[in-house]
Each structure stands twice: as C-alpha cells, then as structure tokens.
Amino acid sequence: MVFSSLEFLFFYFPMVLAVMKCSPLKYRNFCFFVLSLFFYGWSEPFYVVLMLLSTIVDYFNGRMVEKYAENRKKAFRFVLFSIIFNLGLLGFFKYTDFIIGLLNQLGMNLTPLGITLPVGISFYSFQTMSYPIDVYRGQAKAQKSVIDFGTYVAMFPQLIAGPIVRYKDIADQLQSRSETSEKFAAGVRRFTVGLFKKVFFANNAGAIFTTISALSQKSMLLSWMGLIAYAFQIYFDFSGYSDMAIGLGKMFGFELLENFNYPYISQSITEFWRRWHISLGSWFRDYLYIPLGGNRHGTLQTLRNLLIVWFLTGLWHGAALNFVLWGLYFGFLLILEKLFVQRWLARCPRGIRHFYALFLILIGWLIFAFDDLSLLSQYGRSLFQFQRWIDDSFLFMLRENALFLILAGLACTPLFKLFYDSITPKIKQFLNPVLVLASLLICTAYLVEASFNPFLYFRF
C-alpha cells in the first residue's frame, strides 16, 4: 500500500484515525504497532515475519548491551551481533542475485534465487541496527517494552521509504507525546503538500521521462528535457513521501526530522548532499564515516573514508553496477571539491556555481536512472550529440509540457513557501482548509484516472 493510493486515503487512513482516537492512552502504542503491521503486510504478508524477527533480535540486543554496560567488551559483542544480523539479512535479500550475476559474468554457471526484495528493508534494517549502537554509546536507554520498540520499527508513516528515524531521536516520544488539534492540522497540511508533490509533480514528470527515454532517436535538447524531468520526478517522489511521512507522524504526535531542504538550489555538490536525503547522509556520517576516523587522521585517510562511505551509499541504493558507479561518482566529486574545487567555486559568480552543481547533479541522475549500462551509455551520448541538437519531437514535448516544467522548477525552490509565509495569519486561517481540500480533490481525480503512479524509492 502506498500513501498516494485510493486504498490508503479512503480505507486505511480513516480506519487508523478511528482506532487511534478510540483507543485508551496506555494502548496507543500497541494499536499503532498492530495497524503498522497491517499496513506493511497489505501486499507482502510473509515479510511481516521478517520485520518482526529483526525487531525482536535488536530489542534483545539493546537489552543485553545495557545489561553489560559495565563490561564494554561483552556489550560490544551484542552490538556486533546486531550489525552482522542486519547486514546479513539485507545482504541476502538485496544482493544475493546481484553477486550471482557478477560471478556468472566471470564464467560460473549459478542459478539466481529470484528473491523478492522486502519493501523498506534498507530503511528499517538501518533503524534497528542503530538502536543497540546508540545504547552502547550511552546516547539512549534500552527500551523495556517490546511493543514500544516494535512501534518504533514498524511505524507506518516512515516504514517504507524513510526518513531514517534513529531511536535516540524518538525514544521520549514513544513514552509520551502530545496530540493537539493544532499539530493535527499542521500534519494534514504537510501530508497534503507531499501528496500533491507526488501525484501532480512526480507522476507527470515521470511520464515525460518515460516517454522520452523510450524513443529510439532523440535530439540533444529532448534528451536534456527527459533528464531534467527525471530529476523532478525523483525529487518530488522522495521529498513528497518524506513530507507525507512527517505530516502523518505529526497527526499522531510524532515529530520526525526533516529529510530535504531544497537541494536543487545548491551551489556545490557538498551543499547538495547536505540538503538531499538528510537522514541517510547523517546516518552514514555518524555510524560509518566518523567511526572510520572521519577527517581526523590526515588527508589520505579522509579521502579513503569518503570513498568507502560513497561506495556503500551507492550500493545501499540498489543491487546494480549503476548504483555503485553513482555512489563513486559523487564520492569523487566530493573529494575534488574538498581538495581544490571549493576554493575555485568561492571566486565564481553565484550563477556559475549553481549551473556547475545542477549540471553535475543531472549527470548523477543519468547514472542513477539506468541499471542497464548499455541504455545508460546510449542516453548519455544523446545528451552531447551537437550535430542533432533539436528535432520536432522536442518542439512538440516543449509545447505540451513547458508550463508544467516551469512550475516544477519553481516548486524546487523556496519561492512558494516564502510567498505563503508572507500571507497574514488571518488570511491563512481561511486559505488553509481551501488549499487542503482543493489539493485532495485534484489528487483524488488524478488517482482515479492514473495508470502511472510508481514510488521510485520502493525498490530500496
């Protein structure tokens, strides 16, 4: 089940509201846990067992780490067990067939297992793994209630595609959280913004990219239009999901951390990765980059640590060579900026810095978009075929989509938010319900008619 579906909007969500409002306070977490399991098991009932196993294992690990807090060596064994268990689980389901494919290319003749990737496993594995680590570091206390811990792991707003919520950031909210009408209204507004991003912007941008990428012959400008549309699709798809997750969490009293901060206004790749998928970047920083030594042991080790982090960041996104290349691509760009490009950028006008960042980001999305390397190469060449820079297909697509692309570009900036914030509270009081209702009606109409409604990050 996805948030941008009629089943969620008109069946599951009203049911959750009714149950949560009727349940006594002391049973709220239990109800939320059961409802979240139902949400996760809607399309894959079997994998609920897998998530429950992960929950129980790391609940036990956290308790044991706290029990042996005075014996650091013994406590660390349970941290290590958690890491091995979660990475082993993730590796088996996500990378087994990928490794078999690589071995077959080297001459072996192994049969792929055809394993279906459990939805959201990349997210909840990282969440449960961080819990015993935080307890070991003294940054969180072990959770005594397995139901409360299960609520943290299975929490349906962020279960499928993040943001990655660390236990230490939400531990207090599991015990006590405020649910007010003001917070609920703010959550509804945030959810609606995310839904509109997904249904209107991401789906329409995705349809443009799908149409253009399917063409056997593309002019240079048409290829760039398709790539820009894909950049819009992946941003509005993922940031829209994060907005919906944050909004849903707020409706039920949870405050989830922000995951995006207008990444396409960045003026360097370093800035871009401070603004894009913030929860993943901070997770790799705190649980891998810093433990490896960060930037504390000289330039060479810093560069090594960056490459390791970005190799694994790419691999985390998917079991395909293009994701590894994508991770290494951004890793090398960040290293180059750290060594000398940032000093050059500091002397450049703002417009040049912005163009530099957007150009490299778009090339990164080209690598990300195609797991077939031959299609990647073919599309990449079409971006620079100056001898065929324009064609009738481009002019047609431009006429059909120019207004949408302009609106999408503006929606990637803080412009609409700044305008909205400038409106007086009295006018907002009238405008808020009108905008929410209008957005829901528009999105519902799109969903009734839509045949194209993918969530890109479901495959992770």
Active-site residue numbers? 317
Q: Is 341 exposed, middle or buried (0-12, 13-18, 19+ CB in 10 A)?
A: middle
Euclidean distance between CA atoms 420 and 431, whole angstroms: 10
Fill in the DSSP letter of residue 257: P
Q: Is 215 left (phi over 0), alpha (psi -120 to 50) or beta?
A: beta
For the chain, how many helices (H) and strands (E)? 23, 0
Compute CA distances 364 → 61, 253, 374, whole Å: 38, 37, 16
| Calpha distance 428→435 (Å, rounded) | 10
Residue 249's nearest CA partner among 205, 338, 188, 166 is 188
Do the beta carbons of residue 246 and residue 215 sit within 8 Å? Answer: no
Q: What are the two backbone dihedrals, phi and then psi, of residue 111, each rounded to the nearest 5 degrees?
A: -95, 125
- Cα–Cα distance between 340 and 270 in angstroms, integer? 13
Residue with tokens 């803080």: 414
Q: Do residues 110 and 100 lie in contact, with contact meaning Cβ atoms separated by under 8 Å?
A: yes
What is the rounded distance in angstroms from the CA atom of residue 158 to the CA atom of residue 126? 13
Neighbours of 14 (CB within 10 A): 11
| Calpha distance 334→360 (Å, rounded) | 11
SS3 content of the chain, % helix, strand, coil (to 5): 75, 0, 25
Q: Please give the structure tokens belonging to residue 132.
A: 């015993």
Q: Which two tokens stand for residue 154?
A: 């299975």
